Chains A and B, each alone.
Chain A
Amino acid sequence: MNTEDRDRRGGRFGSPFGSTNGDFAREPRTSLEVVDPGYRSPGYWGRFHAAVMERAAFELARRRRLARESVAAVLSGWSRRLIPVAVAAAAVAVFLIGSEVRHAADPGPPLVLEDVLASEVEDGALPVVMSGQAPASPVAFMALVEGNVR
């Protein structure tokens, strides 16, 4: 039930005026048209509106200017903070890229093929293989390596 339904039924809390006054919606509207300036002068409300808008023009223009300035101020505020940060970030980036380049240009000591091959081979295995005495059987080979290490 909306408010108007309630109004037609005499109010949410019932009528405060007894049964004769219960239904406000049935009360005739007061004929107040004659106090409406638009009743006497049909263009009145148009002129009223125009007068208000004319008086408001300056304030509206001020607000538009303020809004534009505040957008510009935000942008300029951002740029003031953004430019030093961007410069610092660029400097860091240049430094990092330079150091990467230096790393790439310095290859370090040359790798020897034997070192690579023997890098994960147990200490005793290599001399056995290199001596030419390595047995064909893997079990015998492991036994020889173990014995050699000990």
Chain B
Amino acid sequence: MRERSDAELVIQARAGDGESFGELVLRYQRAAYSVALSVIGRHQDAEDAAQESFMVALERLEECRNPARFAGWLLAIVRNRSRNLIRRESLRRGDEIPASASSSGPSPERAADISALRERLKEALSTLSEVQREIVLLHDLEGWKHAEIADRLGMPSGTVRSHLHFARKALRVQLSDWKDYGKGV
């Protein structure tokens, strides 16, 4: 079956088609979370901001003038929402691991290692600029291509590559002493 374009999904979601909206959520939930995380830096708040952004996007679907560019429009909402969240609220302290963490996960030692690396990564990410964090998360975590990021964030491809390069360089310097870093944990 032919994969429906973003534009088709947006038009059908405007008429209340849950399946189409669900497909849009499926396509962009990880990217939305990454952008929120790059702005806020905390899991729970990033999750809230990403979910709320989907609600805002659904309520304002008519304002998406070019449905083919839904992703860029959505990510702009996520970014604004996340910034507003930082401004408005006294953010909750600490990162929350989802309650339903799998019991079939890694061993306690491994879990501790992962948790420590996560903290180190978060610290390292926090030293980057917001746009660098956003790009490195979209590229290295979500697997988006330079061109996709450039298109959806509305910036030249060269700028994306430049941000990505400096972000990776900074992360590598900060995490150079981490034993497992770069080996897939």
A interface residues (Cβ-Cβ under 8 A, vs B): 3-4, 6-7, 11-13, 16-17, 21, 24, 27-45, 47-49, 51-53, 55-57, 59-67
Q: Can you offer 19 A-B residue contacts whose CB atoms are under 8 A?
A: A4-B147, A12-B158, A29-B139, A30-B140, A30-B167, A30-B171, A31-B182, A31-B183, A32-B140, A34-B185, A37-B33, A39-B114, A43-B102, A47-B100, A48-B50, A53-B21, A55-B51, A60-B21, A64-B15
> In the complex the two chains form, is B183's CB within 8 Å of A27's CB?
no
> In the complex the two chains form, is A49's CB within 8 Å of B22's CB?
yes
Which positions 151-167 of chain B face chain A at CB distance < 8 Å? Answer: 157-158, 161-162, 164-165, 167
A44 to B94, CA, bound (A): 19
Query: Do A48 and B16 form a contact, CB below 8 Å, given A11-B158, A60-B58?
Result: no
Q: Which residue of A lies closest to B122 (CB)?
A: A35
What DSSP secondary structure best describes chain A's contact surface? helix
Range, interface on chain B: 35 or more
A48 to B43, CA, bound (A): 13
> In the complex the two chains form, is A29's CB within 8 Å of B140's CB?
yes
A59 surroundings in chain B (CB, below 8 A): 55, 58-59
**A-B contact count, CB below 8 Å?**
144
> In the complex the two chains form, is A33's CB within 8 Å of B185's CB?
yes
Give the shortest distance, in Å, between A56 (CB) and chain B (any CB).
Answer: 5
A27 to B146, CA, bound (A): 13
What DSSP secondary structure best describes chain B's contact surface? helix
A37 surroundings in chain B (CB, below 8 A): 33, 43, 47, 98
Q: Which 5 A-B pairs have the closest CB atoms?
A: A63-B16, A64-B16, A3-B147, A30-B140, A32-B141
Query: Do A48 and B18 form a contact, CB below 8 Å, given A34-B185, A59-B59?
Result: no
Among B25, B37, B98, point to the contact of A53 (Cβ < 8 A): B25
A28 surroundings in chain B (CB, below 8 A): 168, 182
A24 to B136, CA, bound (A): 13
A48 to B140, CA, bound (A): 21
B157 surroundings in chain A (CB, below 8 A): 3, 6-7, 11-12
> In the complex the two chains form, is A48's CB within 8 Å of B100's CB?
no
Give the shortest distance, in Å, between B72 (CB) and chain A (any CB).
Answer: 16
B139 surroundings in chain A (CB, below 8 A): 29
> In the complex the two chains form, is A53's CB within 8 Å of B185's CB?
no
Give the shortest distance, in Å, between B61 (CB) and chain A (any CB).
Answer: 8
Q: Which residue of B lies closest to A59 (CB)?
A: B58
A61 surroundings in chain B (CB, below 8 A): 16
Query: Do A56 and B140 form a contact, CB below 8 Å, given A31-B181, A45-B30, A47-B100?
Result: no
A39 to B184, CA, bound (A): 12
> In the complex the two chains form, is A35's CB within 8 Å of B184's CB?
no
B17 surroundings in chain A (CB, below 8 A): 60, 64
A60 to B61, CA, bound (A): 11
> In the complex the two chains form, is B25's CB within 8 Å of A49's CB?
yes
Which positions 92-112 of chain B face chain A at CB distance < 8 Å? Answer: 97-98, 100-102, 105
